[in-house]
Structure 1
């Protein structure tokens, strides 16, 4: 009788014990990383050499003098110069459960013991099926989406989404999207992205029609956006394939909008047979539910949804109507087995008290926002304005909100021990992609360092 050796390996008591021992040893070593610290003389020069060399090899310096050693604990990360930082940007949102979470490490190690490390869409292993099944189960609870296609990153997930809509509505090719949107780094996604700096020298296809995003200061904001959409549709009747949008602007400034802002536009698109594509590459798992369309109760309208980052790989989810013809979407790589395993583990972990109005994600959000508002009203009066966001996506406007000032502030904040990135323009804001495992005392520590940096000025 033949046996399934792969299953025997995964179920082997010896293998499980080895994984347990390995994770235990790594966790023990990482337990030494307990708080921010400055670069040390022993490692400072060597770390700087590695960072400088990386800049030379790729033709441009790193955004921050950041090179991790591969060690960390929770929100803390150890760098090659001997310093430890509070990592509140998490690889632009990849590390949902922070650094070196024992369960995530164990899942990744299990995946690394597979016969292959990188899976493909033509020759997948069982992890591919399980991950796809998990995504479909989650998405279909509050939407009509019933299929998922795995890709290597958010950009590829978005490329696949656009392909689905254009095939369905051919020869319609236009895309409607918000001003200040971000969609990815491929040639087409750079076109969908509303940032001239990201497409210098690239061709202009003139296939993206812009709509103003929500302006909380303007009571007619929703009306103006709907009117702009209607004008585009009237001008390009039958030529628009999709309305693609982030439910909360990411690089565009971490601006959120209420459900009432979206509904009229989504209903209008439905009446015109225009596909609705929600780009949740950044919002997935961060807004208090698995999807922002759940948080905003928009699932009934969504035809296509894209995810990545916290999932550890990219994916495009879609309804029956947008199931593509064979050959349209494929690709050699779909993702690594360790990534698939780690992504599934984190999705399972989210169901353990992180979601819902009173779940840990929303608790973290409220503590940060309350902290920023308190600073802006007391010791940093007027220096930490307009704190907001959704769930673990948090931002505020530091100082005068000018690009040079905010960049200087963020560089000083990095030197003081907290990692954050800029977003938006006029004003530029400081953004945080907070790990879901951060503790209250670690939030308070981050706020204390931010307070210190604001008071120091630039």
Structure 2
């Protein structure tokens, strides 16, 4: 045998040709999706029946009447009611390269030809090895990170982060984080998450200490956060294992903070030997660099970092000091082979002009923010305010920022062909997770649709 059988499959010109032909044909069919399209009468009833069935069998209606057909092109997605939407929420942030990207499809199809669909820590294939190596090399460029462990989602990556910090700083058990944080849906991550609606009926473990996040309206915001942190440490010194935080609040309202806000907090927790865990499940690849800790230049402080969403899998990255003892973390499910292959391809794609101060991500951010500000200063004055965010994460406050009026706006926006989602409270905001492949013309369509929807009123 001149080469291993698996290598023969990878190197086969016939397999490559068949994949190219398959992806090419799907791409050709998807090219029919050229823009926003209203539901079609011929498919409305059947589409509604599928939406209703999905809600019936899971016990709760879908948030939007959304069942995709499996067809899409870039930022556009076709639904079973015959409509085509401009997707600016991307599965709450998974679909970084949009729908049916040919390069992502090619990688995923190749992954699907593997002997196994799911890889784990006991029996990994090369996709596991290559993704892990690629991620650790990227993360270690501007931090002390040396290792990484795969998981299936951000919640599990975060659970592993907490376990690493608690084992290293045992017997300390408490977690310090920001108010309005979101960390996931497991029992412990629901505790770390600062939203009572997400833990109705769950017991309180009283293991999470909260400090206020940056408030751009308050010049003493940083001082207040540091004072609250010092108060917690004085009361619980020796029993706080980790300071875990999102570099930009996600569900907390898409509020960003400058580097100067974080530095005193990080210097203080380091002086107290409290671990620094940066939760980048949402910010990873979206801020103009691979990591928000690179954008903020705080990598030297990071002990643990978690990612998911755009990576297509979850991962906990950590330094030598936090390398866990055998048995603490594992994972029968580390990720599907197509997802590992596609995630690796997307990391490569990002290096091709998307990153940096003048990269495509920052261009998208500026065009979208400038467009929202123009609406606020012009035709929609008083109806749209406080546009902001980081990179591909953009939000603004529609109308009065009350839950009812914002939800009404978002439902009308969806009906008009653009998908977004709420975040924050007092005010509630409309948030967008913009795909990196969006074109300027599509941004302009989104802005025109936002304008139309705002002018319709609540």
Same fold (TM over 0.5): yes
Give the whole-Å Cα distance in 2 for the aligned partners of 1:353 and 1:285: 13
Give the whole-Å Cα distance in 2 for the aligned partners of 1:167 and 1:66: 43
Give the whole-Å Cα distance in 1 for the aligned partners of 2:232 and 2:392: 34
Partner residue, 1:67: 67
* Matched position secondary structure for 2:282: coil
Structure 2 counterparts to residues 33-432 of structure 1, below 5 A: 33-432=33-432
Give the whole-Å Cα distance in 2 for the aligned partners of 1:124 and 1:352: 28
Compute the TM-score of the two structures, normalised by the length of structure 2: 1.00
Q: Deviations over 1:410-436 (max 9, x none)?
A: 000000000000000000000000000
Give the whole-Å Cα distance in 2 for the aligned partners of 1:151 and 1:4: 29
Give the whole-Å Cα distance in 2 for the aligned partners of 1:284 and 1:421: 19
Give the whole-Å Cα distance in 1 for the aligned partners of 2:104 and 2:215: 39
* Matched position secondary structure for 1:141: helix
Give the whole-Å Cα distance in 2 for the aligned partners of 1:7 and 1:183: 40
Give the whole-Å Cα distance in 1 for the aligned partners of 2:150 and 2:335: 8
Shift of the alpha carbon at 1:42? 1.1
Give the whole-Å Cα distance in 2 for the aligned partners of 1:250 and 1:34: 31
* Matched position secondary structure for 1:222: helix
Give the whole-Å Cα distance in 2 for the aligned partners of 1:223 and 1:310: 34
* Matched position secondary structure for 2:276: strand
Give the whole-Å Cα distance in 2 for the aligned partners of 1:347 and 1:383: 38
Unaligned 5+ segments in structure 1 are: none
Q: Deviations over 1:177-212 (max 9, x none)?
A: 000000000000000000000000111000000000
Give the whole-Å Cα distance in 2 for the aligned partners of 1:17 and 1:426: 55
Give the whole-Å Cα distance in 2 for the aligned partners of 1:213 and 1:153: 25
Give the whole-Å Cα distance in 2 for the aligned partners of 1:39 and 1:116: 38
Compute the TM-score of the two structures, normalised by the length of structure 1: 1.00
CA RMSD of aligned residues (A): 0.5
Structure 1 segments (4+ residues) deviating >4 Å: none
Q: Deviations over 1:112-142 (max 9, x none)?
A: 0000010011110011000000000100000
Unaligned 5+ segments in structure 2 are: none
Give the whole-Å Cα distance in 1 for the aligned partners of 2:9 and 2:229: 56
Give the whole-Å Cα distance in 2 for the aligned partners of 1:356 and 1:415: 35
Shift of the alpha carbon at 1:331? 1.9
Give the whole-Å Cα distance in 2 for the aligned partners of 1:2 and 1:448: 60
